[in-house]
Amino acid sequence: MNHHHKKIFFLLLFFIPVYIFSLDFSDSGDPETLAQNIVNAMSDEQALAQTFMLGWVGAAPSPLIMDWIKDRNIGGIKIFGWNTGDTLRLAETVGTLQTAALEGPFNIPLLVATDQEGGWIRHVKGSTSETPGNMAIGASGFPLDAYRAGFYIGRELALLGINMNFAPTVDLYTNRDSTLIGPRAFGSDPVQAGILGAAFVKGQKESGIIATAKHYPGHGDTDLDSHGVLPEINAGFEQLWNRELVPYRLLAREGVPAVMSGHLAFPNTPAGSTPASLSSWFLKNILRDKMEFKGLVITDDLMMNGATTFAGSVSLAAKQALLAGNDIIMFSKTPNLFDPVWTSLVLAMKQEDVFRNRVRDAARRIVLIKLEYLRGERSVPYIPDLKKAAAGLPDPEGQNFFMDLAARSITIVSGGEGFPLRPEKAGKVVLAGQYTEFFNAGKKAYPEAVSCRIGTPGLNADFLRNARNADTVIFCLAEEADLRILQNIKTLGKRTIIFSILSPVYLDGITWADGALAVYSYAAESFIAGFSAMLGRITPQGKIPFPLNEPRWVPSGS
C-alpha cells in the first residue's frame, strides 16, 4: 500500500464511525434498511437494552427507572395501575421519560405500554373511559363494535403519550372456572374471537397504537393464574391448532404488530413442561414458521412465578425467553442497574454468538416497529399535550359509543316474558349488590326501592330481612360469593330478577329465578343500559357468547 492509499485508508477509518453514529431515528429512507443500519451501529449493550421493558413503582418516575433510560437506553416502559392515580400527572411522567430517551444515541423513543383492554382490565384509570369490555363486544357480535372500541380506547391512550397497548385479549372462554379470563374474552368461539380481535387491532392502529394480542397460545382453558403458578393445559397440538391458535392464525395474516407470550405449559405438545413464553417450539416453529408471524413477541411479566419457578431465576428466565424467540422481555418492577438480569445477559452477548445474533435480531425488530408506528402524522406524540389530555379525557365520542355498545350487548337470559318490569308492576323492590353504580342506576329506575349492600354477615342478614318484606328482589350477581347469598332467598317465594354483570357463568343452573338479564361489566353505562332494558326503554339484542350449559367448547366433528 503506497503513501497515498494509506492516507485515504486512515481518513476512511476516521470518517466511517462518524457516519455510522450520525444515524438518527428521524432519518428518511426505507424503514427496514434504516432499522438494520441503526442496529448494526449499536454496541452489544445498546442492542440488548432495546429488548428491556421495565415498570416502576409510584406516580413519578423513580430515580432508578431514569437511570435505566439515561444510562442503559432501554427500549420500553410498562405502565401499571399503581402509576396511574392522577391521569395528567401520568401524561407529564410519560413526557419526562420520553425526553430522557430522546437524548440517547440515535434519538430512539420508548415504547410506552399498558394494559387497557376495556371492561375489567383498565390499568390507566382516572379520567379515561370505563368501557363494557370484550365479552360485551362478543355479545353484540359486531366487528364494527370491536373496531370502534379499539379506536376510542387508543385515542385516549394517545393523548397520554402511550403508544402500545397489551390488547386485545383473544383467549377463549373455554374453561368456565377461569376467574382470570372471564369477561376479558370475546367468548368461546375461536373464529369470532379472531374476527373481533382483528377489528380491535385495526381500530388501535387507526388511533396510532401498537396493538398486542395475548396471551399466546391461549390462557382460557385453565382456572389457574400464571401470576402465582405455572398452569398446565392438557390440550394437544391438533386441538390447539383448531381452537386456541385460530385467533392468532387469523391475526398473523392480518398483520397484528405484536403478540404477548404467556407463562403456560402444554405437556401434551413437543414443548413439554416448558412454558410457552420460554419455548422455541411455540415461538419459532409455530408462531414464526408455521403462522408466518412477522411482528414483535413480548413476554408477559418475567417476574411472575409462572416463568421464574420454571427457569430458576429472573435472569435465567430472561435469557431463555430471548433465545426462545421473544423480542422484548418485560418486568413489572425495576431491577438494579447491575442486577444479574443485566450483567449475565451482557456477558452472554460477549461470549455466545448465537445469543448475540438473537438479541440483535430482536433489536432490529423493535427499532423497525418503532420506525413504522412512532413517526408520521398518526403517531402518538412523544411529549403529551396536557391541555389536550385534560380536554379530551374521557373521549366525548367514545362515551356515546360505549353507551351504545352497552345497550347493544344487553342479554335476556331467562324469563323474557317478565320484562318489561315497570315500577307499578314490581311493587316493593329491594336492590341487592356490591356496586354503587348498580344502586345509582337502580334507584333511578325504581325510585322507591330499598338498597341493600351485601358481602359481610351483617349486611347479608339485613338483606334477608328486607327481602322477606319485598315483592321483587333485583339481585346484582358478579361472583361465586354473591351466588351463595342469592341462594338464601330461593325459598322466600319473592319475584327474583338477577342482574348479572361480568361473566354470566353463575347464571347456569339457576332455574328458580323469575328472570335474568346479563351485562358484561361494572361500568356505569352497563348498569344504566341494563335497567333501561328492564324498564322496556330499549330492546335487548345481545347473545351470551359462550354456551351456558356446556363447560367447554368442542370443535365440530370431534
| CA distances for 217 relative to 271, 281, 486, 498, angstroms | 12, 12, 37, 35
36 touches 364 (CB < 8 A): yes
Cell of residue 275, nine digits: 412454558
3-state secondary structure 437-479: HHHHHHHHHCCCCEEEECCCHHHHHHHHHHHHCCCEEEEEECC
332 touches 80 (CB < 8 A): yes
C-alpha angle 503-505-506 in degrees, rounded to nearest 5: 105
172 touches 193 (CB < 8 A): yes
275 touches 263 (CB < 8 A): yes
Q: Is the alpha carbon torsion for 287, 289, 295, 300 positive or negative?
A: positive
Helices (H), strands (E): how many in the chain?
A: 22, 18
To 10 degrees, the CA torsion angle through 361, 257, 386, 116? -120
- Selecting among 171, 189, 221, 300, the annotated active-site residue is 300
Interatomic CA distance for residues 487 and 78, integer angstroms: 42
Could you confirm whether 227 is annotated as catalytic? yes
Interatomic CA distance for residues 222 and 457, integer angstroms: 31
Interatomic CA distance for residues 125 and 355, integer angstroms: 39
Interatomic CA distance for residues 434 and 335, integer angstroms: 38
316 touches 326 (CB < 8 A): no
Could you confirm whether 300 is annotated as catalytic? yes
- Selecting among 44, 86, 225, 227, the annotated active-site residue is 227
Residues 6+ apart with CB under 8 A from 3: none
> What's 220's DSSP letter?
T
Whether omega for the bond prior to residue 215 falls within 30 degrees of 0, making it cis, is yes
Cell of residue 113, nine digits: 405500554
At 212 the three-state DSSP class reads strand
What are the residue numbers of the active site?
Answer: 227, 300
